[in-house]
Amino acid sequence: MIATAHSTNAWVRFKHDHQIIAVSNAVRHFLLTKGFEQENVTAIHLGVPDLGLAAAPAPGPIALARPLMLGMLARLEPVKGHDLALKAINILRHVLPVRLTFIGPTDTEWARKMKALTNEMGLMDHVIFQGETADIKGVFDRLDVMLAPSRREALSLSLIEAAASGRPSIGTNVGGIPEVVEDDISGILVPAEDPEALAAAILKIGRDDAMRLRMGRAAREVFEGRFTPERMITETERAYDRAIRQWQERR
């Protein structure tokens, strides 16, 4: 049997003699700590359809008339760290002109809490709750930087999409995020649960137009090298071929 582990908690559904495809090296490492054999667990990154580069960002420098456009493309649940993003924006509100857009379902209990927190902090002019959208390319056309202050993440699909669009990202150094965001190359990694560090990273990238463009180009190279559908298909076929050979040898 071949199974795919999309998260760290998926291991409870597998037997130790299963062939497992992990969506990131982070998930593979976790499975190994649970007693799965190295030869039975293969890391294969998700492949994302290439929608092409996003439109060129508006010229800088960042100013009141041209704020830094930040986005989080994720379901509105506590694990994604929307509250940390709001705290970072609150720190920056008088330092750097920023606009933060939350893209995702707004009918969750966490979404309601985040709207209340936005009002409590007085950030209504800085934060937009966009809701769901199928226009992913349009999302990145309007953004400068993608945020992923996640508390836990097997592998972030939205960060891969940002990389495909040629946009840099700021993410927490947890799970599979470092496999998408190369620190100080295609984006910036920050510690989890640290809104001050997140704010500092936003300020750093917001004040340097050339850095954002350079990191965006590097992010696109990361996508082309690791996350295309063609690469995923090729590696998955190899994994199945290897599993079939092992099964035949045991017969």
Angle 14-160-147 from CA coordinates, rounded to 5°:
105
pLDDT of residue 23: 95
The residues facing 68 across adjacent strands are 98
Report how far apart, in Å, the C-alpha atoms of 224 and of each of 26, 27, 33, 96, 160 are: 20, 22, 30, 32, 10
pLDDT of residue 107: 92
Looking at the structure, do residues 41 and 79 belong to the same domain, yes or no? no
pLDDT of residue 3: 83
**Pair of tokens at residue 27:** 């998930």
* Amino acid (one-letter) located at 70: L
- Average pLDDT in the chain: 94
Looking at the structure, do residues 73 and 159 belong to the same domain, yes or no? yes
pLDDT of residue 184: 98
Looking at the structure, do residues 206 and 222 belong to the same domain, yes or no? yes
**Pair of tokens at residue 215:** 């990191």
For 3-12, 28-37, 108-117, 138-147, which range has the lowest pLDDT when averaged over its residues? 3-12
Looking at the structure, do residues 218 and 151 belong to the same domain, yes or no? yes
Looking at the structure, do residues 153 and 116 belong to the same domain, yes or no? yes
Asked if the structure places residue 218 within a domain, the reply is: yes
Looking at the structure, do residues 233 and 207 belong to the same domain, yes or no? no
Looking at the structure, do residues 130 and 171 belong to the same domain, yes or no? yes
pLDDT of residue 10: 75
Report how far apart, in Å, the C-alpha atoms of 215 and of each of 53, 92, 170, 235 are: 13, 22, 11, 27
Asked if the structure places residue 52 within a domain, the reply is: no
Looking at the structure, do residues 215 and 97 belong to the same domain, yes or no? yes
Helix (H, G, I), strand (E, B) or coil at 207: coil
Residue 66 phi/psi, 5° resolution?
-145, 75
Looking at the structure, do residues 149 and 236 belong to the same domain, yes or no? no
Looking at the structure, do residues 27 and 77 belong to the same domain, yes or no? no
pLDDT tens for each residue of 113-141: 999 999 999 999 999 999 999 999 999 99
What CATH number does the domain containing 217 carry?
A: 3.40.50.2000
Asked if the structure places residue 54 within a domain, the reply is: no
Range of the domain at 188: 68-226
Looking at the structure, do residues 214 and 245 belong to the same domain, yes or no? no
* Number of domain units in the chain: 2
Asked if the structure places residue 183 within a domain, the reply is: yes
* Model confidence, pTM: 0.94
Contact (CB, 8 A) for 100 and 83? no
Asked if the structure places residue 58 within a domain, the reply is: no
Helix (H, G, I), strand (E, B) or coil at 49: coil
